[in-house]
């Protein structure tokens, strides 16, 4: 359904009396009813007689948040036991934790992770997840498992498989094939991208396969870029160039590309990325947790060309928390950080997801937009206006206030509970599957893949 079609669908329900954030960038706030028709917002104003009404007086209604870079496969890692020597570098974190976890995943664990992670994201007010998946011992069909699970919950998604040479060329080729198969079939609430891990785990031959696959399917590449200095050192050793130039020469950097992190980039590299129109995803909490540094893209000015979105890099699906931590971290680094930083970052994430879904109004609550929105119980002590929305966002809002969540017109969370799944069952099954996953992981040694070092 497109915007013009909403006139042909009778309004079916309305969220009445709330303070409505029509848009984040630039902010627009009104007190009105949000009228829904099918999977669309029909109007923001006064609800017509005869529609089903949901009382939203005293609430704040906001566009659904977009997590622009997630790893749902990490959902069962919370509280996971760790018995190896503590990692002291980013590469060791991958070798001893995440590259062991992903090799322990089977289809059942992939589904349980997507179910638990997707539910947590919805309950936190995140309506779209852009996921970057890896399960080297369960590649074929893994994206279908995730897509079907998220559709069961009612989450909008953009999915890909993380192609990498770290587990050998056969698995790299299988990852490319999984992306291409899924891209040809994705529909409904899910879309696909061509996934790749990072420059430092991709040979020239595999990188070429990734780019050829993206071009043939008309998709963008979702890839980690310069999360750690090791990525830059490896790119120089492989090609004599930094990671950005290596990826650009290969054809990765386009206006459809999604580049996670971008921490260790020089100003010239940042502007080279911006010139391509690619979207960069900052992941503040993950960067802090892994001690890899602070993304300079946090401070890239408007009009530079690149969108700068927000993701969690697998640390849950709470974009209220991520945007707040990111704001404080950006302010710590530069007191001149624009005050609209959190809202602009979230809006850029919605713009990216909207382009992939063919929904230019995603991330707004306006006539014709997809009805993806969140109702917050927010008994504010002061008025909420367009001028002060960011102050409320940073200092007042939290995922604990999420009351209702609507995705594509469906009420998928009502009064803080999923309308689609038995949450107690999901929790119990997730706990059982986590213990099985942890037991398998205990039998897996640290990965022996190492990035290349130095220059040729």
**Helix and strand element counts for the chain (H, E):** 14, 18
By the 10 Å C-beta count (0-12 exposed, 13-18 middle, 19+ buried), 416 is classed as middle
Q: How confident is the model over 297-343, as pLDDT tens digits?
A: 877 655 555 799 999 999 999 999 999 999 999 999 999 998 899 99
Q: 130 pairs with which residues across the strands?
A: 158
pLDDT on residue 297: 85
Q: Which residues, 6+ apart, have CB-to-CB distance to 303 below 8 Å?
A: none
* Separation of alpha carbons 169 and 202, rounded Å: 10
* Separation of alpha carbons 179 and 450, rounded Å: 25
Q: 33 pairs with which residues across the strands?
A: 45
Q: Which helix (H) or strand (E) holds 143?
A: helix 142-153
By the 10 Å C-beta count (0-12 exposed, 13-18 middle, 19+ buried), 453 is classed as exposed
Only one residue has tokens 């005869």, namely: 50
Instruction: Give the pair of three-digit tokens for residue 164.
Output: 């990498």
Say what the pTM is: 0.97
pLDDT on residue 257: 98
- Quick one: fold of 65-357? TIM Barrel (3.20.20)
Please answer whether residues 365 and 63 qualify as being in contact, where contact means their C-beta atoms are separated by less than 8 angstroms.
yes
Domain ranges of the chain: 3-63+361-418, 65-357
Maximum alpha-carbon separation in the chain: 73
| Residue (of 372, 322, 366, 331) closest to 350 by Cα position | 372
Please answer whether residues 142 and 159 qualify as being in contact, where contact means their C-beta atoms are separated by less than 8 angstroms.
no
Angle at 278 between CA 277 and CA 281, to 5 degrees: 135
Q: Which helix (H) or strand (E) holds 41?
A: strand 40-45
pLDDT on residue 305: 59
Residue ranges for the chain with pLDDT beneath 50 = 1-7, 455-456
By the 10 Å C-beta count (0-12 exposed, 13-18 middle, 19+ buried), 173 is classed as middle
* Separation of alpha carbons 379 and 395, rounded Å: 13
The alpha carbons of the chain give a radius of gyration, in whole angstroms, of: 21
Q: How confident is the model over 211-222, as pLDDT tens digits?
A: 999 999 999 999
Residue 183 Cα distances to 44, 104, 135, 259, 319, angstroms:
35, 25, 18, 19, 27
Residue 441 Cα distances to 266, 327, 376, angstroms:
37, 35, 39
Angle at 331 between CA 326 and CA 335, to 5 degrees: 160
Spell out a b/e string for 308-347, using b for 16 or more CB atoms within 10 Å of the CB, else e: bbbbbbbbbbbbbbbbbbbbebbeeeeeebeebbbbbbbb
Top-level class of domain 3-63+361-418: mainly beta
| Residue (of 146, 195, 199, 145) closest to 171 by Cα position | 195
Spell out a b/e string for 83-109, using b for 16 or more CB atoms within 10 Å of the CB, else e: eeeebeebbebbbbbbbbbbbbbbeeb
Only one residue has tokens 């890899």, namely: 292
Please answer whether residues 235 and 199 qualify as being in contact, where contact means their C-beta atoms are separated by less than 8 angstroms.
yes
Total residue length of the chain: 456
């Amino acid at each position: 359904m497109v915007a013009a079609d909403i006139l042909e669908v009778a309004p079916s329900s309305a969220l009445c009396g709330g303070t409505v954030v029509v848009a984040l960038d630039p902010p627009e706030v009104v007190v009105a009813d949000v009228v829904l028709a099918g999977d669309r917002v029909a109007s923001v104003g006064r609800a017509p007689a005869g529609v089903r009404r949901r009382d939203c007086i005293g609430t704040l209604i906001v566009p659904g948040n977009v997590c622009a870079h997630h790893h749902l496969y990490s959902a069962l890692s919370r509280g996971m036991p760790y018995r190896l020597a503590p990692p002291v570098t980013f590469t060791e974190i991958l070798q001893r934790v995440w590259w062991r976890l992903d090799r322990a995943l089977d289809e059942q664990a992939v589904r349980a992770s997507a179910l638990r992670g997707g539910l947590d994201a919805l309950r936190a007010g995140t309506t779209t997840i852009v996921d970057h998946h890896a399960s080297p011992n369960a590649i074929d069909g893994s994206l279908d498992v995730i897509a079907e699970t998220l559709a069961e919950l009612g989450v909008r998604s953009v999915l890909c498989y993380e192609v990498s040479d770290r587990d050998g060329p056969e698995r790299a080729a299988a990852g490319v094939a999984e992306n291409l198969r899924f891209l040809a079939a994705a529909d409904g609430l899910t879309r696909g991208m061509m996934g790749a891990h990072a420059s430092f785990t991709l040979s020239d031959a595999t990188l070429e396969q990734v780019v050829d696959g993206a071009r043939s399917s008309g998709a963008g590449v979702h890839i980690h870029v310069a999360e750690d200095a090791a990525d830059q050192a490896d790119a120089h050793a492989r090609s004599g160039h930094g990671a950005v130039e290596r990826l650009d020469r290969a054809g990765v950097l386009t206006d459809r590309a999604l580049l996670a992190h971008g921490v260790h980039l020089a100003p010239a590299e940042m502007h080279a990325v911006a010139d391509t129109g690619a979207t960069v995803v900052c992941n503040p909490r993950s960067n802090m947790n892994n001690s890899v540094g602070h993304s300079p893209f946090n401070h890239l000015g408007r009009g530079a060309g690149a969108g700068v979105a927000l993701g969690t890099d697998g640390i849950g699906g709470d974009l209220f928390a991520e945007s707040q931590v990111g704001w404080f971290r950006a302010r710590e680094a530069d007191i001149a950080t624009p005050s609209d930083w959190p809202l602009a970052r979230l809006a850029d994430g919605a713009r990216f997801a909207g382009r992939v879904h063919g929904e230019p109004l995603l991330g707004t609550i306006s006539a014709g937009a997809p009805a993806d929105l969140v109702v917050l119980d927010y008994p504010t002590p002061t008025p909420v206006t367009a001028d002060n929305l960011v102050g409320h966002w940073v200092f007042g809002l939290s995922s604990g206030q999420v009351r209702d969540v609507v995705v594509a017109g469906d009420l998928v969370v009502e009064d803080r509970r999923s309308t689609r799944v038995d949450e107690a069952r999901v929790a119990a099954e997730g706990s059982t599957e986590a213990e099985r996953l942890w037991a398998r992981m205990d039998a897996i040694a640290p990965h022996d893949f190492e990035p290349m070092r130095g220059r040729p």
